[in-house]
Amino acid sequence: MIGPFSNDLPLRIAEGLLVNFQIAISALVIGLLSGGLLAYLSNLRNPVVKWGIESSISILRATPVFIAMFFLAGVLRPHYTGLEAYFTDPKIMFVALACLPYITSYAYDQVSEALSQWRRGAHRAAMLLIPNMARSFQVLVSASCFGAAIGVNEAMSVVLSEAELLGDSAWRFVLYALTVLMFFGLMQTVVASSRMLHRFVIARFSDVPQAG
């Protein structure tokens, strides 16, 4: 025991955080690719395609992560055994896919704005896409904690399991406080990284809009 906590608690939390990051990175990559593709297609100036894409994006914006997660878990649960042939833990995939409505619509907005700015010659404004997408990673890490509700062994799930072992003792609240501090520190690291990228973009790219 580490004080009142389990000996392997730090290791289990670290392993859980890796799951959180796995979910967030997977969703970010897929969402950026899909949102970027939709933004490109929307800029082809085909009114029918543009209307279809914007209607779809509006639906994605209105879809909460936890609702999408429970929907996917319910629909795909009968195929869980088959999915295990392709994924170590299919529930991780459920959470990553549930994050796609948010990150795809966000990426669509950011890439559309970046394409518009780039065409105007405002390269610095266009390249702000990079720190903006980095900031979205913070939201995805937080959203990945919803996985605890369907049995994903991520960091929050580990903390909740440890809290059950502590019962009603005051150490339970200490554990929660330490968890809040841990996630606060991680999120501040992401924020600092996005600010660093922002400064890099400002220093590296000029921003001279073209007339017309």
pLDDT at 212 over 50: no
pLDDT score at 5: 85
Region of poorest pLDDT, from 129-133, 141-145, 169-173, 208-212: 208-212
pLDDT score at 80: 80
pLDDT score at 207: 60
Residue range 9-204 in CATH 1.10.3720.10: yes
Sequence ranges of the domains in the chain: 9-204
The 3-state secondary structure of the chain reads: CECCECCCHHHHHHHHHHHHHHHHHHHHHHHHHHHHHHHHHHCCCCHHHHHHHHHHHHHHHCCCHHHHHHHHHHHHHHHHHHHCCCCCCHHHHHHHHHCHHHHHHHHHHHHHHHHHHHHCCCHHHHHCHHHHHHHHHHHHHHHHHHHHHHCCCCHHHHHHHHHHHHCCCCHHHHHHHHHHHHHHHHHHHHHHHHHHHHHHHHHHCCCCCCCC
Mean pLDDT of 56-70: 93
Mean pLDDT of 70-85: 84
pLDDT score at 208: 56
pTM of the shown model? 0.86
